[in-house]
Structure 1
């Protein structure tokens, strides 16, 4: 008899959800927004989450409403400056382990881990990020 195991959602194979973490997890305390498309409507819904651990390949997030997040969503850092595309890997009570679509730069992950105030915005952290991230923050300032 064949072993009929429930397969993961279809995005898991693309996001490396079956692989273990490559980078060293770093503890952090960042409040962010999880954005996901609403069913049947061309708009997005949001949910506040807390990132408690992050590494180059993924993160551990917490929220009291974590069960409402779909298998695929975006984590928004700052005021719309940076979006991280995520896929759900594992959910345990109010915590979710997620994978990123592409690995983050190590200096960026280290800069995020250094944030000591959870509600700190990326603009307040200006000067602590690599040049590529600084340019994205400056571009968002010019748009406003």
Structure 2
């Protein structure tokens, strides 16, 4: 048996097989960021656009992105799908966020393929893939509690 050739010490950082990174999918989804107001038991909202999605987070854009707190919710549709998020980085009007829990890759793939970013999810419920429909909340269910 032949001894293996020693690998360069940098190979551990650049090898595609050793470091499986989540694949970023392009998206164009209009959503809302919901966050608690300071000192008041109510929530404020900000319109955002999701421009990139992967299982563990997203890239969002907004004119006032720097005013979002470190922890907030992303709401899709009329309160139908929520993601709990934490701010990771802000670069030139874009924010990289991490989800509190990794999402299913089929669900993220289906969301990235939505073609009507301005429509409410309930309005296009029948056009959504079944995995997105299964995640939608029905009206009347509580969505966010303090």
Q: Give the TM-score range, shorter chain.
A: 0.7 to 0.9
Moved more, 102-111 or 45-54: 102-111
Shift in Å, 1:136: 4.5
Alignment correspondent of 2:11: none
Any stretches of 5+ residues in structure 2 without a counterpart?
1-18, 142-146
Alignment correspondent of 1:86: 85
Structure-to-structure mapping, 1:38-53, within 5 angstroms: 38-53=37-52
Moved more, 103-112 or 37-46: 103-112
Q: Contact 2:89–2:95 (CA<8 Å) still a contact in 1?
A: yes
TM-score, normalised relative to structure 2:
0.76
Bigger Rg over Cα: 2
Shift in Å, 1:138: 6.3
SS in 1 for 2:48: strand
Shift in Å, 1:121: 2.2
How many corresponding residue pairs? 122
Greater RCO, 1 or 2 (C-alpha within 8 Å, sep 6+): 1
Structure-to-structure mapping, 1:86-105, within 5 angstroms: 86-105=85-104
Distance in structure 2 (CA, Å) of the matches to 1:37 and 1:138? 21
Any stretches of 5+ residues in structure 1 without a counterpart?
1-19
TM-score, normalised relative to structure 1:
0.77
Distance in structure 1 (CA, Å) of the matches to 2:65 and 2:78? 21
Aligned CA distance change for structure 1 residues 95 and 65 (closer, same or farther; 3 Å): same
SS in 2 for 1:139: coil
- RMSD (Å) for aligned C-alpha atoms: 2.1
